[in-house]
Amino acid sequence: MSQRGGIRIIGLGPGDPGLMTPRASEALEGAEVVIGYRGYVERVKPQLGDQRVIARELTEEVDRAREAYRYAMDGYRVAVISSGDPGIYAMAGLVFEVLKEAGWREREGPAVEVVPGVSALQACAARVGAPLMHDFCAVSLSDLLTPRDVIRRRLQAAAAGDFVTALYNPRSKRRVEPIREAKDIFLRYRSGETPVALVRNAYREGEEIRLTVLAQMLSHPVDMLTTVLIGNSHTVFYEGKMLTPRGYRARYPLSVSEKKEGRA
The interface with its own copies within residues 37-96 (CB under 8 A) comprises 59-63, 65-66, 69-70, 85-89, 92-96
Could you tell me which stretch among 29-37, 39-47, 111-119, 178-186 binds its own copies (CB under 8 A)? Answer: 111-119
Nearest CA to 129 among 19, 7, 249, 239?
239
Nearest CA to 90 among 10, 189, 205, 1?
10
Site string for its own copies, 219-258 (x = CB under 8 A): -------------------xxxx-xxxxxxxxxxxxxx--
Cβ-based nearer residue to its own copies, 116 or 170: 116
Contacts of 131 (CB under 8 A, 6+ apart): 125, 164, 195, 197, 229, 231, 235, 242, 243, 244
Contacts of 118 (CB under 8 A, 6+ apart): 11, 13, 14, 19, 84, 85
Cβ-based nearer residue to its own copies, 20 or 221: 20
Binding footprint of its own copies, residue count (CB under 8 A): 97
Nearest CA to 153 among 135, 178, 122?
178
Q: How far is the CB of 27 from its own copies (least distance, A)?
A: 9
Could you tell me which stretch among 16-24, 176-184, 209-217, 219-227 binds its own copies (CB under 8 A)? Answer: 16-24
User: Which of 7, 115, 182, 197 lies at the binding interface for its own copies (CB under 8 A)?
Assistant: 115
The single-letter DSSP state of residue 84 is: B
Q: How far is the CB of 82 from its own copies (least distance, A)?
A: 11
Cβ-based nearer residue to its own copies, 58 or 219: 58
Could you tell me which stretch among 42-50, 75-83, 133-141, 177-185 binds its own copies (CB under 8 A)? Answer: 133-141
Q: Assess 114 for contact with its own copies (CB under 8 A).
A: yes
Nearest CA to 85 among 232, 229, 227, 241?
227
Cβ-based nearer residue to its own copies, 50 or 251: 251
The interface with its own copies within residues 137-196 (CB under 8 A) comprises 137-140, 144-146, 150, 153-154, 156-158, 160-163
Q: Assess 97 for contact with its own copies (CB under 8 A).
A: yes
Cβ-based nearer residue to its own copies, 4 or 66: 66
Cβ-based nearer residue to its own copies, 43 or 219: 43
- Tell me the one-letter amino acid at 27: A
Q: How far is the CB of 32 from its own copies (least distance, A)?
A: 19
CA distance 22 to 104: 29
CA distance 182 to 142: 12
CA distance 178 to 240: 28
User: Which neighbouring-strand residues pair with 42?
Assistant: none
Cβ atoms within 10 Å, residue 231: 28
Q: Assess 30 for contact with its own copies (CB under 8 A).
A: no
- Tell me the one-letter amino acid at 129: G
